[in-house]
Amino acid sequence: MCAQKASEWTELGISAWTKFRVNSDPIDDTIFEPLTPWRHYIRTPFYGRIVESPHDCFLAVGWESPKVYDEFKRSPQYEKLMANLGANSMDPQTHIIVFSNTMFGYGSGPNTEILTAYWPKSISPETQEAVWNAKDLVHTPASGIPNPRCYREPPTFGWLDGVQTWNEENVLASVWCHNWVNKELEQKFKRTDKRIVYLDGHVAYPLALDDFENALKALGVLGWQSVHVDFEHVSIIYEDALSRKNRLQKKLDEAIDRLGSL
């Protein structure tokens, strides 16, 4: 496994994450229509605003294989999609993420936390494997398993393909997508959920978040950052003609009502 060429060892396809800017509220999802002819090669497409920076958004599209994605990038639909995403003055920025355990999208929704950790470019394959095997932020018997859980599904983990730039350094980057149910349950987990840790013959009960972060530090992480995205499914590319017509008419009626109330 080598994160510098993560796409070479993908088993779950690849996920193309494009950051773009919008000024409208809500997001007009017709900008994603160029994906429609490719819908049979697409898995779990989502889009959403970054909570900490509401004008910035992500479009996350899972592709069947790197080959199919390369074909899409040579198509007129790709050019149209990039033009749509760049309509508000920011050039769209795309990164490829290769998820290693579960395909991105299962459990995604509002308040999905994207935690990106940065690693030395020289990180060894063995350390990359250890990062992958780090204990996720999930419930354990140490704090009991609550009902409901604090997350919709356990986190997905992956590596960004190729060398990245962070703080003017060339680095590698890994990503965890935490599918928290809501902000309140996320904070509850981070403040209270504990783990059982055996160290030098003693038993300790650290917070799961502290144990996770300490594990990353022990593996040589350079730093990390997290943002939250209110993801929605890109359903427009799967609609039939009648459903699309009715939905667009509803959006038009809502826009007219808003203008009438001004």
pLDDT digits (tens, 9 = 90+) for 15-38: 999 999 998 778 889 999 999 999
> Each residue of 224-255: pLDDT tens digit?
999 999 999 999 998 877 777 777 777 778 77
According to the model, what pLDDT value does residue 262 have? 63
According to the model, what pLDDT value does residue 1 have? 42
Share of the chain above pLDDT 90, in %: 72
According to the model, what pLDDT value does residue 193 have? 96
Distance CA 155, CA 175 (A): 10
101: containing domain: 3-260
Distance CA 62, CA 36 (A): 14
Residue 12 banded pLDDT, cuts 50, 70, 90: low
Domain count, the chain: 1
Residue 4 banded pLDDT, cuts 50, 70, 90: very low
205's CB contacts (< 8 A; 6+ apart) are 142, 194, 195, 196, 197
- DSSP-derived secondary structure letter, 227: E
According to the model, what pLDDT value does residue 245 have? 75
> What is the value of pTM for the model shown?
0.87
Peptide bond into 26 cis (omega under 30): yes
Q: For the domain that residue 175 is a member of, what is the CATH number?
A: 3.30.70.100
Structure tokens at 14: 């690849």
6: helix, strand or coil: helix
